[in-house]
Chain A
Amino acid sequence: MSVAVAKAKSDQSDVYEREELLNGCQAVAHGVRLADVDVIAAYPIRPYTEVMDALSKLIADGQFDAEYIIADSEHSQFEIVKHASSVNARAFGGSSGTGWMYGMEALVVTATDRLPPLFVVGNRALDDPGAFGVEHNDAMAVRDMGWLLCWVTTPQEALEHVLIGYRIAEDKRVRMPMGLAMDGAFLTHSQHMVKVPSPEAAKKFLPQYDLAERRLHPDNPISVAPQINEDWVMELRRQNWEAAKRARGVIKEAYKEFNDVFGERYSAPYYFEEFMTDDAEVVLIGIGTVAAPARTAVRRLREKGQKVGYVNLRWFRPFPTVELRECLSRFKAVGVVDRDFAHGSPDNGGILMHEIRSCLYPAKQRPAIVNFMGGLGGRDLSIADAQKMYDITQQAAKKDSMDGFVTWIGLRE
């Protein structure tokens, strides 16, 4: 079950029209072009800014036609996206860090209104102090609000997940907003050769957006989000809950369909990706670009005969509880890498670690869990750091004590 990206089958080679050097932001812009998005609302903040730059260039160059609206703030930007989505326009927005937080009111209601626009979040530390390095707390702020939330690790995945994201979000069983997150700088501004799908292939994969009976239009007069009180709110929350549960199945379907069009790009269980885990005793699990140093460390440690592997978690919402429980309970110890913080939380560790410990609680065989807080505010997570984390996790596998199981990596101390 190891390794990720398989090559496109030969009979599917024409689904890509060219290769192009693109960074994460530009790759997203091409994804938006290929998704034939109708309405884009933009407001700058690093590192997201280059997404809007790239989109405006595509439009200016005549490669893409969309309504492009510069808002006066993120709050207005997200409101525009939400409203566009409600009139059955495929809509796109995005932001980073505190800009994302500033528009939170609109983000929360986009989920309650069950609208499926896609937002890219170029992860950025939350100011103050003014920092623009990666941290995942910005995107994670919507994690309990009825959002789809997924992280990509390469520009290729970023492009493809714009298409996959809309496919899942707009499915009538789901209709939830889609947060496509990527590490600020390390992915948003990292340039790689990207295979760019042809518009025909994209169209083949991604159906038209159809909000049907909920489309706000003079021909379909409805009210969206009236004032409601105690008599209605619980029922609405229950509907959101159900949609988030249903989304797990739709995600699988979407990846299978994607593979049908583009070749075996993604392997089951899709929500996450295992690397050299088949006979592993100890694994790290993380989100985002930390996958690169971690997988490199795995290769090097394997050369020394150590049974280690890596799990790259792609989908954070809905959380792949059953599959991840099954996966992680195979190992003796799991080291959870958090590029986020949860101050004052039960275990004083990161958000992901708490989710994983909760996910593993009903497992018959629970691995030892250790937690690494690392790479905060854009600090490096190096191959050496990854090796150190494997080292600590291997030690944890041997002892019963949970003392000091949260370790800060790369901290000056």
Chain B
Amino acid sequence: MIKRVEVNYRGIFQKNLGKKIGSDIVMIASRMGQKAFSNGRYSDSPERNGIPCKYFAFVSPDLPEEELEAECGAKLEIDETNISVVLDDTMCKGVEPWGWHGIRPINEKVIKDGCLLVVSRKKPEELLKFIGKKPYNYRIAILDGDASLAGLWVNKDDLTHERILGGIAAIDPALISIEAVESYLMEKTKQKHRAEAARAAFESLRAEAKPPRVKLVTPKEGIDWPHEKPVLPKWFEMQEGAVVPAVKRGFEVGPRGQSRNAMFKRGTTKTQRPAVRFDLCTKCTLCWAECPDECFDPTKDGFYDIEYQYCVGCGKCAEICPVKECIVMVDELRFEDDSSPYEHWKKDSKDYIQWVEDKKGKDRVSYPFVTGKGITVTQGEVMPEGKIVGIKKTEEAEL
């Protein structure tokens, strides 16, 4: 028998965290007398910032290590999982786990009666607005919390790592038991609060816990998956010499007027997306000029629409925009589609402003990568329509 755990993580920002979780499952399962190993997809270079990636851990009580490796190792994609851990709930919108696999549902690999374990502040029902249907029952378990995002080679010591171990122990004690988790953490770190964090996470997912955080998901729940799997050409269908034809050039003013590479959407990379108040925009061009992924489409009346399918959520546009509350980064899970915000605004500006302020809310969440706490939350305000107030940029303030 093999138990498989997949840890979905955001490239670079959670690479170290994902790897640590994988390693510790192996360590703990081994201490319980099982055979285990872990592997993962690397995300070690900066262009993989935020891209959904995976770490894996495989545990077997009866197979020899080599057979376990033969069944699970040296594969690009895991066959199936008993538990799919999701370290950032915005990945519930779908992941592109590796080049050319297409946008796949986050629960794609979860087996019957398996479990999707998500770090989130949301309820399972809210996440199911984005998750694909499965033909069988499985569970969604929520570990209450925010995504722990850091920089290359580091992870924040915010106990997410310990809590995930506790969560896995609650879902499948045969894989790793909470006692084994606790004794391992104590022995390794001699720090009681780590074992306690794991235990608290474990308790929060027990059936008796209030509020209940584990939901049974039936085949009726979830969405019909909208993304198709790409079909790759055979060797004799490809152009020779590693040549890729250019995207056909085209440029028209207006929403989606620029030609873009339909095969190179990186939208699953983002945890937040820029929300724009067009009525506050001074048409300064900065967002359009600065966006590294060329997501902005100029419009006839001088505004800049956003093509969200290509937005990686880097936040540069929000950073550069010189007007208060004009571009704000907002939790990706508040948006259900990628339609044009500009068109919405043109159709009904009052409705749009209300809609976008509703999405924005008051909390302005940022993730100070590498240093600082898990997240920083400041308060925003609702600007009246057309009230343009300049803001001093951090760099200017420092100069």
Residues of A within 8 A of B (CB): 112-115, 175, 213-214, 221-226, 228-232, 234-236, 238-239, 242-243
B188 contacts chain A at the CB level, 8 A cutoff: no
Number of B interface residues, CB 8 Å?
19
Chain A residue with Cβ nearest B247: A221
Greatest chain A CB density within 10 A among B233, B240, B242, B249 is at B242
Residues of B within 8 A of A (CB): 76, 98-100, 232-236, 238-246, 249
Chain B residue with Cβ nearest A109: B242
Give the shortest distance, in Å, between A268 (CB) and chain B (any CB): 29
> Which residues of B lie under 8 Å from residue A225 when comparing CB positions?
242
Given contacts A229-B98, A231-B100, A234-B235, contact A114 B244 (CB under 8 A): no
14 A–B contact pairs at CB < 8 A?
A113-B241, A113-B242, A175-B241, A214-B239, A214-B243, A222-B243, A222-B246, A226-B244, A228-B99, A230-B99, A232-B232, A234-B235, A235-B234, A238-B235
B76 touches A114 (CB 8 A): no
> Which residues of B lie under 8 Å from residue A235 when comparing CB positions?
233-235, 238
> Which residues of A lie under 8 Å from residue B245 when comparing CB positions?
221-222
> Which residues of B lie under 8 Å from residue A224 when comparing CB positions?
241-244
Compute how far the CA of A231 lies from the CA of B99 in the bound complex, rounded to whole angstroms: 7
Per DSSP, are chain B's interface residues mostly helix, strand or loop, or mixed?
A: loop
> Which residues of A lie under 8 Å from residue B234 when comparing CB positions?
235
Compute how far the CA of A57 lies from the CA of B243 in the bound complex, rounded to whole angstroms: 37
Greatest chain A CB density within 10 A among B98, B234, B243, B249 is at B243
> Which residues of B lie under 8 Å from residue A214 when comparing CB positions?
239-241, 243
> Which residues of A lie under 8 Å from residue B243 when comparing CB positions?
214, 222-224
Compute how far the CA of A242 lies from the CA of B234 in the bound complex, rounded to whole angstroms: 14
Select B242's contact among A112, A229, A238, A242, beta carbons within 8 Å. Answer: A112
Chain B residue with Cβ nearest A112: B242
Greatest chain A CB density within 10 A among B235, B238, B246, B249 is at B235
> Which residues of B lie under 8 Å from residue A234 when comparing CB positions?
235
Chain B residue with Cβ nearest A113: B241
B238 touches A226 (CB 8 A): no
> Which residues of A lie under 8 Å from residue B239 when comparing CB positions?
213-214
> Which residues of B lie under 8 Å from residue A222 when comparing CB positions?
243-246
A239 touches B238 (CB 8 A): yes
Other contacts beyond A112-B241, A229-B100: 14, CB < 8 A: A112-B242, A114-B241, A214-B241, A214-B243, A221-B246, A222-B243, A222-B246, A223-B244, A228-B99, A228-B242, A232-B238, A235-B238, A236-B238, A239-B238
Compute how far the CA of A223 lies from the CA of B246 in the bound complex, rounded to whole angstroms: 6
Chain B residue with Cβ nearest A211: B241
* Pairs of residues from A and B, 6 with the lowest C-beta to C-beta distance, nearest first: A221-B246, A114-B241, A235-B235, A238-B235, A231-B100, A225-B242
A239 touches B244 (CB 8 A): no
